[in-house]
């Protein structure tokens, strides 16, 4: 997996937080990933980010390996918000909105629940699906439950 310059292809990962003040900062996986410089928190989706893949559980289109080039070119955006706020986002129609297949959470807050993924789990799942396994493993390596997420969802 290399480009013309023989460098590793590293997708840009972004997080749009609708959670300000609404989540426990100690448990927020997006903020932890930001500390490790594995994602960038963005205030809004504009300019070229409008063409990025946006993980949206209400999208009609499921993420697939075919989305890999869009992620490389424009990036991957996860929406970090409570499920209550997520319902409000149903009305937004993003060009490249994609939903993940049904997956089981391994994070301590929602362990064993279908489709209640943390931001880190959603990002890692998207990276596995689009064949960025090394990046997905790096994301999950920052969490004690990362290997469990891979195991219970059969992602290897």
Find the distance separating the first CA and the last CA of the chain, reported in whole Å.
Answer: 17
Domain locations in the chain? 13-152
- Return the C-alpha torsion angle 23, 25, 30, 33, nearest 10: -170
**Which pLDDT score, from 0 to 100, does residue 32 have?**
95
Name the helix (H) or strand (E) containing 115: none
**Going residue by residue through the chain (156 aa), what tens digit of pLDDT does each one get?**
334 444 578 899 999 987 655 566 778 899 999 999 999 999 888 899 999 999 988 888 999 999 999 999 999 999 887 655 666 666 567 789 999 999 999 999 999 999 889 999 999 999 999 999 999 999 999 999 999 999 999 997
Q: Are residues 154 and 102 in contact, defined by beta-carbon separation less than 8 angstroms? A: no
Q: Is the pTM of this model over 0.85?
A: yes
């Amino acid at each position: 997996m290399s480009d013309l310059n023989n460098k590793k292809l590293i997708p840009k990962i972004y997080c749009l937080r609708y959670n300000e003040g609404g989540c426990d900062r100690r448990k927020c996986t997006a903020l932890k990933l930001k500390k490790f410089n594995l994602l960038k928190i963005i205030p809004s989706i504009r300019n070229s980010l409008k063409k990025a893949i946006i993980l949206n559980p209400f999208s009609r289109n499921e993420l697939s390996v075919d989305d890999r080039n869009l992620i490389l070119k424009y990036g991957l955006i996860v929406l970090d918000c409570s499920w209550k706020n997520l319902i409000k986002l149903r009305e937004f129609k993003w060009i490249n909105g994609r939903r993940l297949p049904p997956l089981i959470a391994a994070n301590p807050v929602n362990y064993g629940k279908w489709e209640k993924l943390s931001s880190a789990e959603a990002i890692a799942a998207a990276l596995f699906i689009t064949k960025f396994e090394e990046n997905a493993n790096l994301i999950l390596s920052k969490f004690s439950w990362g290997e469990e997420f891979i195991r219970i969802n059969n992602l290897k």
